[in-house]
Homo-oligomer: A and B are copies of this chain.
């Protein structure tokens, strides 16, 4: 049995270097003040308990230090280096693998270096991705998940996690608005795969023979999605054998929302060409503009032409948790399937994405192959809980626990507060810059989601006529500012072109650590770095 000791031997934090850590007998103190053990002393070695706990606590000391600093605004968001610099080995940080083992002491140094040269995605001023923030409960959940190290395919080896997934999916379906939360679903390794599931299930529903006979058994099927939708719909059309040319892009209004009349016109056109319209994706929260397609109007058209309606709420699904904002997804209950990524707007650590399907049995029918070695029908428990055969995966990572634990800790009401707060913050940013000198909004009016899209126009460009030269120069502004931000390490925000629009900033807020002062900081930083461009 191990007993906890005073000073468990972690490296002294930067501000407090202890003078006499106490090491266990057999564990030696090195020049860095670490109590190091050898790999061979760790479990499953005999008497390996103490050195193992010791080692894990050393690691935890590094991690908790990292967590502490991540939330500290005086810490850099990143310490940028080019690939060749890291490959050459920064201050002895050697990425190469070798035949012989390193000491555990070196392993701890490697851990510290890995974090040092990484990017602090939980930093209050990291706005670069839709997934930001570092939720402490979610983090604890992931640590536990790693420790349990099991697999979702059967109840047999993941009884608790399988049930948590089932209950959580039901809750999500209730929130979508399907009666009694009926239906089906599964957690998948990200929104792209969830969207791929939706196309697969739609195909299976309308042309089940494709499973056995292949795409040649079906007529020429076409899919529809907005030109602003996520590229995963296009990936799915390539992967599943539809072909990207059979994905028809829909026009949007200037806010990035699908124009329903364009959908109907294109459906009629496709039918006239002998194609069969199968599937429509409506985006709830587009990646760049944060736009919500008008689901109800799209659903009307889907019903009229017997098409599968999928709602890609990877980014916007979280708004369903907010009484104030869920109206933006009105009509979602009419969808046949919904993608919803808790790892985006709900702050759950990566990865956590759900595909929800209204009709029960389709996922199973579409994907089951009845592998005898895994899904034995003659087990002693109710094997309908063995959900693995619904998946396109065999082994499946446990993505549910961190989410379940966060839901327990926050309650539905806690997620609602988080979402309302992020939307308030983005409103603050929008109001701050919409009439500010040097800024131009990419689209007019208050954003529907937390996406605020804007150009920063340096003083040297402000009086230029709106011609190609200005466009070309403006196109280079965001990349330049972004590069300087990264080199300074002060903040990170995304940019991209869209259609005929030159590079603009896309600011998104999903980080619970962000405050108005961080928004102010971002704007100050853009102006500081961009004023002389």
Contacts and interface: CB of A to CB of B under 8 A. Distances in A.
Interface stretch (A2-10, A27-35, A328-336): A2-10
A313 B371 CA distance: 18
A151 B131 CA distance: 9
Given A57-B64, A83-B159, A83-B382, 15 more contacts: A52-B64, A52-B67, A56-B60, A66-B148, A86-B160, A95-B404, A97-B168, A113-B160, A121-B157, A157-B492, A189-B393, A214-B242, A235-B367, A240-B240, A378-B476
A220 B189 CA distance: 31
Contacts of A49: 68, 71
Interface in A143-170: 143-151, 155-161, 163-164, 167-168
Contact of A159 (B96, B119, B411): B119
Interface in A47-86: 48-49, 52-53, 55-57, 59-60, 62-64, 66-68, 71, 80-84, 86
Contacts of A401: 114
A494 B122 contact: no
B167 A96 contact: yes
Interface stretch (A102-110, A248-256, A523-531): A102-110
A394 interface: yes
Given A163-B87, A408-B106, A483 B380 contact: yes
**How many copies of this chain does the complex contain?**
2
A420 to B, nearest CB: 15
A271 interface: no
15 contacts: A67-B147, A80-B159, A83-B155, A95-B404, A98-B411, A121-B150, A131-B395, A210-B243, A211-B238, A215-B215, A241-B241, A241-B242, A372-B496, A373-B494, A380-B486
Contact of A395 (B99, B210, B351, B396): B351
B111 A140 contact: yes
A414 interface: yes
Given A146-B139, A372-B497, A243 B231 contact: no
